[in-house]
Amino acid sequence: SQKIEQNSEALNIQEGKTATLTCNYTNYSPAYLQWYRQDPGRGPVFLLLIRENEKEKRKERLKVTFDTTLKQSLFHITASQPADSATYLCALGSNAGGTSYGKLTFGQGTILTVHP
Amino acid sequence: GAVVSQHPSRVICKSGTSVKIECRSLDFQATTMFWYRQFPKQSLMLMATSNEGSKATYEQGVEKDKFLINHASLTLSTLTVTSAHPEDSSFYICSARTGPSSPLHFGNGTRLTVT
């Protein structure tokens, strides 16, 4: 069955360092992968989308890589700040037909805490 | 742009009653909306896909008679939890998007507590 694993439940880093979060998947051939941020008691907020034919995407301090051979995505936050503390979710999507079309499957999330 | 509004944000109800949650796309039309459920420290679990003007598509294991979904217009979908029980207590979140592979725009969720 399809499985998505985010490297760890929690990640603690010091302000100014780069946070690296991992998303691994098995038994899946996603057409695209998305990263979301979720704050406690709130709905997720979209951050970045990367498609299967793209290796890397950047947006300000954020960078996402997508390796379909390793079946892995890395999410980096450079020059991290305490305000970056949140849960980060990866989500995989398929363009396959039928009931899977456009459906997103989420990982369990990684809680990032950036200490001042 | 692409704002999704969800109400109520919190609701406490007694066992056996029904609760309706509304999800509105404020500045775009959404032919498809998605309803998720999230338990503490767990990921989002898709419950059903709500299609405007037609029946919702439910995920395996989700009781369609218990979680009634109505998508009456291009900007409104509702989820009604019927005959709620304590095990239905959870965080329910709706989402919508502007295209098939576009990002999801989420509402802020509804914390349901059934006593």
∠ CA A81-A87-A89, rounded to 5°? 120
Residue A87 confidence (pLDDT) above 70: yes
Query: Mean pLDDT throughout B84-90?
Result: 96
Question: Of B41, B101, B108, which is closest to A32 when you measure between CB atoms?
Answer: B101
Q: Is the pLDDT of residue B85 over 70?
A: yes
Confidence (pLDDT) at B109 = 96
Torsions phi, psi for B77 (to 5 deg): -130, 140
Check if the beta carbon of residue B29 is closer than 8 Å to that of residue B77. Answer: no
A28-53 pLDDT, tens digit per residue, is 888 889 999 999 999 999 999 999 99
Q: Is A99 on the interface with B (CB under 8 A)?
A: yes
Name chain A contacts of B104, Cβ cutoff 8 Å: 34, 36, 44, 46, 91, 104
Q: Do B104 and A109 touch (CB under 8 A)?
A: no
**What pLDDT does residue A16 have?**
97
Q: Which of B44, B62, B90, B92 to mutate to test the interface with A (most CBs of A within 10 A)?
A: B44
The pairing of beta strand A19-26 with beta strand A3-6: antiparallel
Residue A39 near chain B (CB below 8 Å)? no
pLDDT of residue A96: 61
Q: How many CB pairs under 8 A join A and B?
A: 54
As a whole number of angstroms, the distance between CA B62 and CA B71 comes to: 18
Q: Does A30 touch chain B (CB under 8 A)?
A: no
Bond prior to B8 in cis (omega within 30° of 0)? yes
CB contact under 8 A, A31 and B43: no
User: What would the mean pLDDT of B6-16 be, rounded to a whole number?
Assistant: 97
- What confidence tens digit (pLDDT) does each residue in B16-59 have? 999 999 999 998 888 889 999 998 878 899 999 988 888 899 99
Q: Does A53 touch chain B (CB under 8 A)?
A: no
Cβ pair B41:A104 closer than 8 A: no
Token pair of B21 as six digits: 């949650």
Reply yes or no on whether the pLDDT at A94 is more than 90: no
- In this prediction, residue A97 has a pLDDT band, given cuts at 50, 70 and 90, of low
Q: Quote the CA–CA distance of B102 and B84 in Å, as a whole number.
A: 33
Contact A11, A85 (CB under 8 A): no
- Contact call for A108 and B43, based on CB within 8 A: yes
pLDDT at A101: 57
Confidence band (pLDDT; 50, 70, 90) for B72?
A: confident
Hey, are the CB atoms on B108 and A42 less than 8 Å from each other?
yes
pLDDT, averaged across chain B: 92
